[in-house]
Chain A
Amino acid sequence: MDLGLRGKVVLVGGASQGIGRATALLFAREGAQVAMCARGEAGLNAAAGMIRKETGGEVFALVADMSKAEDIQMFVAKSAAHFGRLDIIVNNAGGPPPGEFMKFTDEDWDRAYQLSFMSATRMTREAVPHMRKAGGGRVVNITSFAVKEPVAGLVLSNAIRSAVIGLAKTLSRELAKDKILVNNVCPGRIHTERAQKLNQARAERLKRPFEEINREMAAEVPLGRYGTADEAADLIVFLASDRASYITGTTIQIDGGLIRAIQ
């Protein structure tokens, strides 16, 4: 299937590992020009190097912290200047830490808000003028299946990521006339370093072996396994492609059937 991504410029946040990295890689494989950012320089350069080697594609890598307004502004501006255009942004930043409600302070809430909500807001606000100039664009927010069914022990994520859904739906309507399509992808249990860390925290909290927790978490999924970062990337890249030209304002889970609700 020709996705029509050749030559398109895509910005991927949080791209040094997990779903971000898999997404940047797949865009590059499809012929897109990729700008990627992450907080840690070493991890970012390793990921960018791997993608260049695998695809021979043009990759522009910048150290940027998705929780900082000035970093986001710089990432978008420099990427658009480097490539001369901007077509697609994939809003992805690490998630807030797990924990129960009563242990979190205002500072924890504020940090989560900056990292997981304002990052999407700022990235989009910076990108829209460039997309308007290009005659259209795509915004894909990587959120979590928790926005459809909140997960125990993840109150920061459940609350803050849900705000992104409200933002996205509003944007899908406001920006439709600019032909900017906005969609959310909600990963369920995907095999990434973050997922492993969350399981480790869970194992410590419940005082049970990590391997047992891992097995249990996989067994709870109807498809009996964790998804791969590449599978999440496939959906994200499809939504950003020319083939998804009538899809906007949606919130799509990739969860192996985990969510219970019909919507």
Chain B
Amino acid sequence: MELGLKGHVAAITGGSEGIGFATALALAAEGVRVAICARRPEPLEKAVAAIRSATAGAEVFALPVDVAVGGEGERFIGEVAKRFGRLDILINNAGREALGVFEEIDDAAWQEDIDLKLFGAIRCARAAIPHMRSAGGGRIINMTHVGAKQPRARSMPTSVTRAAGIAMTKALSKELAADGILVNTVCVGIIQSGQWERRRKALASPISKEQQERELVADRGIPLGRIGKSEEVASLIAFLVSGQAAYITGASINIDGGLCNVV
């Protein structure tokens, strides 16, 4: 399927690992000029090298940025537009799961989650929109989570912040449609990523990757019997930002192996 993405410019937050990195790779393979940001420079450099090597020298731009900090997301978008002369696609992906017992979550923890996931997306979108208008249109993908559609006990602050992301996606899709800017959210289930690796390694008694997966599948009830791969999410994102998805906007699409119970 020809995605019609050659020469487009994409900015991906949280792009040095996991879904962000896989998406950058998938888009670069389709001829997109990608820009990635993350907090730490070393993983970013590794990611850039990996993308260049996998795509025979694709154009990649990287900037160490913490989108949770005011002004930083805007700085990233500005630098991308300056470097590539345009911006067509924004993937708001930066974010980590933060789950706890409600009464133990203090204001600071709430603010941290909201700053990273919600404000990060808000600021990057606000900065990106004028560039997309100049380009005659664009695509914004907000990464959220199926937990936003079925919040469990002890799922906050993440479930709340992600639900806000779904609402924002819908409202933006309505507001920006006339500009040809399509906005969708991809709601992930459990996907293999750096954060799961870190969690596994941080356990007091170590378990294997396979055992972690088995436990997650059983605990969360994943019909397909496995956790998802970053590449699978990246394929959905690549499709959604392509010319073949020009009539899809305001959608919240689950990629979760059937995890989400709601229709």
User: With A222-B178, A223-B247 in contact, is A243–B235 under 8 Å at CB?
Assistant: yes
Binds A, one of B36-44, B53-61, B80-88, B166-174: B166-174
A104 within 8 A of B: no
| B contact residues around A234 at 8 Å (CB) | 1, 244-245
Residues from 66 to 109 in B contacting A, C-beta threshold 8 Å? none
Interface centre among B242, B245, B257 (most CB of A within 10 A): B257
Give A246 to B19 CA distance when docked, in angstroms: 14
Knowing A1-B30, A249-B260 are in contact, say whether A254-B235 is a contact too (CB < 8 A).
no
B247 and A256 form a contact (CB under 8 A): yes
Complex interface bits, B206-233 against A, C-beta within 8 A gives 1, otherwise 0 = 0000000000000000011100110011
Across the interface, which residues of B come within 8 angstroms of A224, CB to CB? 177-178
Q: A255 to B247, Cβ gap below 8 A?
A: yes
**Count of interface residues, chain A, beta-carbon cutoff 8 Å:** 45
Partner of B245, one of A235, A255, A259: A235
In the complex the two chains form, is B263's CB within 8 Å of A176's CB? no
Known: A172-B258, A231-B244. A222 touches B263 (CB 8 A): no
In the complex the two chains form, is A173's CB within 8 Å of B177's CB?
Answer: no
Task: Please determine whether A249 and B258 come into contact, CB atoms closer than 8 angstroms.
Answer: yes
Please report the total number of B residues contacting A with Cβ < 8 Å.
45
Contact, CB under 8 Å: B3 / A1? yes
Chain B residues with CB under 8 Å of A248's CB are: 223-224, 257-258
Given contacts A1-B235, A165-B263, A244-B236, contact A252 B251 (CB under 8 A): yes
- Per the bound structure, the CA–CA distance linking A89 and B245 in Å amounts to 21
Q: Is A14 an interface residue (CB 8 A)?
A: no
Cα-based distance from A14 to B137 in the complex (angstroms): 35
Asked if B254 and A243 sit within 8 Å, CB to CB, the answer is no
Q: Is B177 a contact partner of A176 (Cβ separation < 8 A)?
A: no
Tell me how far the C-beta of A24 lies from the nearest C-beta in chain B, rounded to whole angstroms. Answer: 16
What does the 1/0 interface line of A230-259 toward B look like (CB < 8 Å)? 011011011001011111111111111101
- In the complex, are the beta carbons of B248 and A263 less than 8 A apart? no
Q: Nearest CB to that of B174 among chain A residues? A: A222
Question: Whole-angstrom distance between the alpha carbons of A69 and B158 in the complex?
Answer: 48
**A residues in contact with B173, CB < 8 Å:** 222, 257
Q: Which of A165, A222, A259 lies at the interface centre, i.e. has the most chain B CB atoms within 10 A of its CB?
A: A222
Q: Report chain B residues within 8 Å CB of A243.
A: 232, 235-236, 239
| A235 to B238 CA separation, bound complex (whole angstroms) | 12
Check: A166 CB closer than 8 A to any chain B CB.
yes
Known A222-B177, A263-B252: A176·B235 in contact at CB below 8 Å: no
What are 9 A-B pairs with beta-carbon distances under 8 A?
A: A177-B225, A181-B224, A232-B247, A243-B239, A246-B229, A246-B256, A251-B263, A262-B167, A263-B252
Known: A169-B263, A262-B169. 16 other contacts (CB 8 A): A1-B235, A30-B1, A181-B224, A222-B250, A224-B177, A234-B244, A234-B245, A235-B248, A241-B1, A246-B255, A248-B258, A253-B248, A254-B251, A259-B250, A263-B149, A263-B262
